[in-house]
Structure 1
Amino acid sequence: MLANRKILIGVSGSIAAYKTIQLVRLLIKQGAEVKVVMTEAAKDFVSPLVLATLSKNEVLTDMFQENTWSNHVALGRWADLMLIAPLSCNTLAKMANGHCDNLLLSVYLSATCPVMVAPAMDEDMWHHAATIRNIKTLQQDGITVVQPGHGELASGLFGDGRMEEPENLLTAIDDFFRKGKATLTGKKVLITAGPTREAIDPVRFIGNHSSGKMGIALAQECQARGAEVTLVLGPVDLPARYEGMTIIQVTSADEMYNACHDHFQNADIAILAAAVADYKPEKISEEKIKKEAAATPELKLVKTKDILKSLGAIKDERQLLIGFALETQNEKANALEKLKSKNADFIVLNSLKDGAAFGSDHNKITIFSKAGAEVAFDQKSKAAVAADIIDTVTAGESTITV
């Protein structure tokens, strides 16, 4: 969605400017064209050279540089979106009152493109009546405000005012452009994400390293496209934006199985991205198993219920069912066998040989469809991968239409 988009980044004076480096890098990796405008104060926190190198464009800081005039009007007309990140308390106040004493403000006041801001300041400043008033003024002017998060601040305090993380800003930008691409409006989507944990005793379990990032990215992508999302989420320790979704938190494979069957009937699309345990202990000890010097306990395992196969057996013609396959050998053959045996419409293949790894922010996939299509993608961020998956399954690659 961000390929060939023209993004103008404004940087004001805040310690949070270090995050802008990663944001520019992420935008470039998504194929966006990025230009950067900085205030003089911002140069105390981040090097223009670094941002110029990453953006592949000269960074502008002054209205006049080397006897040339920086055309602020052209910049504001060039961009598809202007994002000021970080937005300091001082620059916020100037914007709210129409001040124009530097290049960044000149570009802002002459911009014909939409504007988004990501505030960054200490908690007491963020909650001050003047700041609240200034934020409301920007919102009334049509500016999109990405609310700051809660966390450790430059002052050493913990509280509100921390600029949103680069990955979440990337998602906010992507969401902005997707508002006109509501391809799933009116559709109900069921998604599973994360690992399952199969108890051995009250303190031990069998599990895996799944972070849930891929499934959560899919849930956010579907929601951004207008879908009503139900996310069945295994035990993950991952901050994410879940507003507006129905979240069902589960622990075991049996709990995930039951939750999926409870909601599958009403779903138009089901995407099973969770890493569900294939086996579980036959018996769960009611007490912690003690370590005995004279004996080594035996653990007998039994298969867990196959969620994908069970849903494939009951799905109707209006429903799309998408599964995932993580393989280490015979990747394509195993993925195609899973596609057929589970009666899925699509299988998304991850190969450990291609660098797929639990917990990574990136993924490399190939999608196989029941209709015989095979679509391979380069390694991308999981947010971009989620977009590729939804684009593919809703683009007529299958005999089922959504």
Structure 2
Amino acid sequence: MEYSPPSLSDQAHFNDEKVHIILAASGSVATIKLPNIAKALSRHHNVSIRIIVTKSAERFLDGQSLEQPPLEALRAVPGVEAIYRDEDEWKTPWTRGDPILHIELRKWAHLLLVAPLSANTMAKMTMGIADNLLLSVIRAWDTTGLVDGKIKIKKPLIFVAPAMNTAMWNHPITGKQIEILEKEWGVNNPSKDGWVSVLRPMEKHLACGDTGNGAMMDWEAIVCIVEQYIGAQPRRHSSITG
């Protein structure tokens, strides 16, 4: 049976006293760590999660192995409210007054965690391209904190965890894109008006066989960074492997 996520209206969640996290994955082998991240974050009682996967990311979570469960299995994780694919954006013909999914997701979210951020999605993000659901959410992000300021205490951030082959990471175009993300849009830029936090990759033996930089930051380290940012509350009991 085809899974259809529940309809989303940001208005229904304004006062639920939870931290709203969009957890997203783009096309990288590191997508197999998405279940671990979701389960770890879901242990917190004050966290609500909605997952977005790109078309390429779906290929890594199709029940191939224990560490690659079917994507639908994540619906059973406490705190995971919905899973969205690209086709969910315009599933039915739009009429005036209907909610627009990528806008509703943006309004709903207190933060967006893209782990992994593939080379392709990084390139499109820095160019402002919005040709899938995830990129549309990013393109519609409230980068100033002024649009959704009445419904959110602080400006929402986007955390990105790049993951790619070493040669791709070392490519000069990647350096230019990272410069945009860190120096122009980064939370630590001189003007202090940034909205992106880059969780830089690490060096290891990659799935492709190469050894070098480009592997996604350890998923547990990513979770710790997010937990510190949101001031996470006590955890639900959960079993995590990987």
The TM-score with structure 1 as length reference comes to: 0.42
Bigger-Rg structure (1/2): 1
Contact 1:75-1:111 at 8 Å conserved across structures: no
Q: Which residue of structure 2 lines up, in the alignment, with residue 77 of structure 1?
A: 107
User: Residue 56 in 1 paired to residue 71 in 2?
Assistant: no
Aligned letter for 1:161? Answer: G
Contact 1:86-1:118 at 8 Å conserved across structures: yes
Q: Deviations over 1:104-160 (max 9, x none)?
A: 000111122211100110111111110111111122123100011111212112211
Partner of residue 100 from structure 1, selected from 130, 133, 139: 130
Deviation at 1:58, TM superposition (A): 2.3
1:7-18 alignment, distance < 5 Å: 7-18=21-32
Secondary structure at the residue paired with 2:124? helix
Q: Which residue of structure 1 lines up, in the alignment, with residue 201 of structure 2?
A: 148
Contact 2:42-2:236 at 8 Å conserved across structures: no
Deviation at 1:50, TM superposition (A): 2.6
Matched pairs, number: 182
**Coordinate RMSD, CA, aligned:** 2.4
Q: How many angstroms apart in 2 are the aligned matches of 1:76 and 1:38?
A: 15
Contact 1:19-1:165 at 8 Å conserved across structures: no
1:195-344 alignment, distance < 5 Å: none
Structure 1's 174 and 64: CA in aligned 2 closer, same or farther, altered over 3 A?
A: same
Aligned letter for 2:213? Answer: D
Q: Which residue of structure 2 lines up, in the alignment, with residue 109 of structure 1?
A: 139
Q: How many angstroms apart in 2 are the aligned matches of 1:378 and 1:147?
A: 27
Q: How many angstroms apart in 2 are the aligned matches of 1:65 and 1:135?
A: 34
Q: How many angstroms apart in 2 are the aligned matches of 1:119 and 1:28?
A: 22
Q: Deviations over 1:324-372 (max 9, x none)?
A: xxxxxxxxxxxxxxxxxxxxxxxxxxxxxxxxxxxxxxxxxxxxxxxxx
User: Residue 131 in 1 paired to residue 170 in 2?
Assistant: no
Deviation at 1:380, TM superposition (A): 6.8
Aligned letter for 2:76? Answer: T
Contact 1:86-1:120 at 8 Å conserved across structures: yes
Secondary structure at the residue paired with 1:90? helix
Q: Would you tell me which structure has more strand in proportion to its own residues?
A: 1
Q: Which residue of structure 2 lines up, in the alignment, with residue 190 of structure 1?
A: none
Aligned letter for 2:91? Answer: Q
Q: Which residue of structure 1 lines up, in the alignment, with residue 228 of structure 2?
A: 175
Q: Deviations over 1:361-400 (max 9, x none)?
A: xxxxxxxxxxxxxxxx88879xxxxxxxxxxxxxxxxxxx
In structure 2, the gaps of 5 or more residues are 1-16, 62-69, 143-155, 186-193
Q: How many angstroms apart in 2 are the aligned matches of 1:169 and 1:157?
A: 23
Partner of residue 49 from structure 2, selected from 9, 34, 51: 34
Q: Which residue of structure 2 lines up, in the alignment, with residue 163 of structure 1?
A: 216
* Identical columns (%): 31
Deviation at 1:53, TM superposition (A): 2.9
Q: Which residue of structure 1 lines up, in the alignment, with residue 91 of structure 2?
A: 65
Deviation at 1:52, TM superposition (A): 2.9
Q: How many angstroms apart in 1 are the aligned matches of 2:220 and 2:100?
A: 30
Aligned letter for 1:126? Answer: W
Q: Deviations over 1:2-36 (max 9, x none)?
A: x9321111110111001011000000012211001
Aligned letter for 1:44? Answer: R
Structure 1's 26 and 130: CA in aligned 2 closer, same or farther, altered over 3 A?
A: same
The TM-score with structure 2 as length reference comes to: 0.69
Secondary structure at the residue paired with 1:116? strand
Aligned letter for 2:177? Answer: N
